[in-house]
Amino acid sequence: MRKIIHIDADAFYAAIEIRDDPSLKGKPVAVGGTTDQRGVIATCSYEARTFGIHSAMPTRTALKLCPHLILIKPRMDVYRAASAEMRRIFSDYTSLIEPLSLDEAYLDVSESTLLKGSATLIAEEIRRRVFAKLSITVSAGVAPNKMLAKIASDWNKPNGIFVITPKMVDDFIRDLPVKKIHGVGRSLSQKLLNIGVERCEDLQTIDLFTLTQKFGSMGPRLYDLCRGIDNRPVVSERRRKSLSVENTFSEDVTSLDECISKLPELIGKLNVRLKKLDASYIVNKIFVKIKFSDFTTTTLERQGKFTNLESYIPLLSEAYDRQPGKVRLLGVGVTFEENIDQQGQLHLFSSED
| Binding-residue pattern over the window 134 to 163 for ligand TTP, x denoting contact by CB under 6 A | -----------------------xx-----
Where are the alpha helices (H) located in the chain, listed in sequence order?
A: 12-20, 46-49, 59-65, 76-90, 119-134, 146-155, 169-175, 186-194, 200-204, 208-215, 218-225, 256-275, 309-321
Strands 70-72 and 29-32: parallel
101 binds ligand TTP (CB under 6 A): yes
Which one of Mg ion, ligand TTP, none interacts with residue 43, CB within 5 to 8 A by kind? ligand TTP
d(CA 330, CA 35): 35
Stretch that binds ligand TTP, among 62-70, 84-92, 99-107, 301-309 (CB under 6 A): 99-107
Residue 302 near residue 317, CB atoms below 8 Å: no
* The one among 5, 42, 69, 200 contacting ligand TTP by CB under 6 A: 42
Residue 39 engages ligand TTP in binding (rule: CB under 6 A): no
Q: How far is CA 286 from CA 126, 150, 263, 266, 344, in A?
A: 37, 38, 13, 13, 20
Residue span binding ligand TTP (CB under 6 A) among the ranges 11-19, 253-261, 324-332, 344-352 = 11-19
Residues tagged active-site: 104
The answer to whether residue 33 forms part of the interface with ligand TTP (CB under 6 A) is no
Question: What are the residues facing 8 on neighbouring strands?
Answer: 104, 139
Binding ligand TTP (rule: CB under 6 A), the pick from 19, 33, 39, 55 is: 55
**CB of residue 195 vs ligand TTP: minimum separation in angstroms?**
29
CB 222, CB 215: distance < 8 Å: yes
Pick between residue 8 and residue 278 the one whose CB is nearest to ligand TTP: 8
Residues that bind ligand TTP (CB under 6 A): 8-13, 42-43, 55-56, 101, 103-104, 157-158
Contacting positions for Mg ion (CB under 5 A): 8-9, 12, 103
